[in-house]
Amino acid sequence: MPRAFCTAKMCDFGPHFEILQAGGFEVETVPADVDLRKEPHRVVEQVQGYEAVIAGAEPYTREVLEQLPDLKVISRYGVGYDAVDLEACDELGKVVTITPGVNHHSVAEQAFALIMGIARLSRSQDQAVRAGQWEWHLTPRVWGSTIGIMGLGRIGQAMATRAIGMGMTVLAYDPFPNQAFADEHQIKLVALDELLEQSDYVTLHLPVTPETRDIINKDTLAKMKTGSVLINTARGGLVDEEALIEALESGHLRAAGLDVYKKEPLPVDSPLIKLENVLLSCHTGGLDRESHRDAYAMAAQNIVRLYQGDWPEECVVNLKNTTGWKWSK
């Protein structure tokens, strides 16, 4: 009987157990006292001997992959796969899958929660009331402002429709934009520099690639409007955090709302924690009940489909030129 292992967050409940077991798999989960995000050196120890893994954010480097000869499928919970060495997986014949289309509404809601939390000073107002203080501050209205969406995929599109409902002018930058969607919703597609220069809010919804890593840096931050706000619910690798801290401390940016970071969990000594104009959350953008259920279901289904000889092309992110891949060789 093939064996599957689950390392993704909150993997102790969900539909994946039933789906994998019905597909002929023995299923086990990472022990509750093991956090592979904090202990990446234990990935080999935990995943050893399993043929498939529903993976979280733990790293699958070439060194790790070479020590896992039985592993055939890395089925990522979510749509990010920057922690997986795809080139090494290609060479070793290991399939990497993601779960597209299940959490875009959740991420968009989190991004908007950060926008509204900053716009209405939710954190400082809450703290003031709890301290017995009564404070008033004038802040810019969200309605009528301009939002720049970097990445117009599923999540970016979910952001766009919400922004339109909030009366915002929507600009978007995407190397390969969905022109039909932009036309339908009257979204102005612009170059990156124009988006940065005109937006009151810039929200990131791009994957991390060699081209996008640190796309928000000292130069691009300088192009943003004075008093604008940066929102990141995508990946920490998109932002040069030192440059962002400098822009926040100088007052060039009014604020930032961050759900993701270069290093996670965010170290307690990070300067970001000390900044009053930063609203933080702990990489929960893609996590609500519906997305949890659907992501785990799809991650399990991807494994079962591959085991049964199917090829879930819409979910596979590597082995693009491979034909005839088989579970047993």
Type of residue found at 12 = D
In our burial notation (b when 16+ CB lie closer than 10 A, e otherwise), range 177-214 reads: bbeebbeeeebebbeeeebbebbbbbbbbbbbeeebee
Type of residue found at 242 = E
- DSSP letters spanning 22-49: HTT-EEEE--TT--TTT-GGGHHHHHTT
Is residue 193 within 8 Å of residue 170, measured between CB atoms?
Answer: no
Length of the chain: 329
Looking at the DSSP bridge assignments, the partners of residue 204 are 150, 232
Asked if the domains 3-101+288-307 and 104-280 are classified in one and the same CATH topology, the answer is yes
Q: How large is the average pLDDT for residues 24-36? A: 94
Q: Express each pLDDT in 131-170 by its tens digit.
A: 999 999 999 999 999 999 999 999 999 999 999 999 999 9
Angstrom distance (rounded) from CA 28 to CA 21: 11
Type of residue found at 179 = Q
Q: Express each pLDDT in 231-258 by its tens digit.
A: 999 999 999 999 999 999 999 999 999 9
Q: Express each pLDDT in 46-99 by its tens digit.
A: 999 999 999 999 999 999 999 999 999 999 999 989 999 999 999 999 999 999
3-state SS class at 246: helix
Is residue 79 within 8 Å of residue 314, measured between CB atoms?
Answer: no
CATH architecture assignment, domain 3-101+288-307: 3-Layer(aba) Sandwich (3.40)
Distance from chain centroid for Cα 237: 10
Is residue 281 within 8 Å of residue 258, measured between CB atoms?
Answer: yes
Is residue 233 within 8 Å of residue 106, measured between CB atoms?
Answer: no
Active site residues: 235, 264, 283
Is residue 48 within 8 Å of residue 25, measured between CB atoms?
Answer: no
Angstrom distance (rounded) from CA 4 to CA 229: 43
Residue with the two structure tokens 């995000």? 37
Q: What is the pTM of this model?
A: 0.90
Angstrom distance (rounded) from CA 63 to CA 190: 41
Angstrom distance (rounded) from CA 226 to CA 152: 24
Domain ranges of the chain: 3-101+288-307, 104-280
Tokens (6 digits) for 151:
């990445």
Angstrom distance (rounded) from CA 33 to CA 153: 36
pLDDT at 329 over 70: no
Sorted by sequence, the CB contacts under 8 Å of residue 314 that are 6+ apart come out as 100
Distance from chain centroid for Cα 13: 21
Instruction: Kindly indicate the confidence band of residue 12, based on its pLDDT and cuts at 50, 70 and 90.
Output: confident
Per-residue confidence (pLDDT) for residue 68, from 0 to 100: 98
Is residue 37 within 8 Å of residue 265, measured between CB atoms?
Answer: yes
Angstrom distance (rounded) from CA 298 to CA 290: 12
Residues of the chain above pLDDT 70, percent:
100
Which CATH code for domain 104-280?
A: 3.40.50.720
Instruction: Kindly indicate the confidence band of residue 196, based on its pLDDT and cuts at 50, 70 and 90.
Output: very high
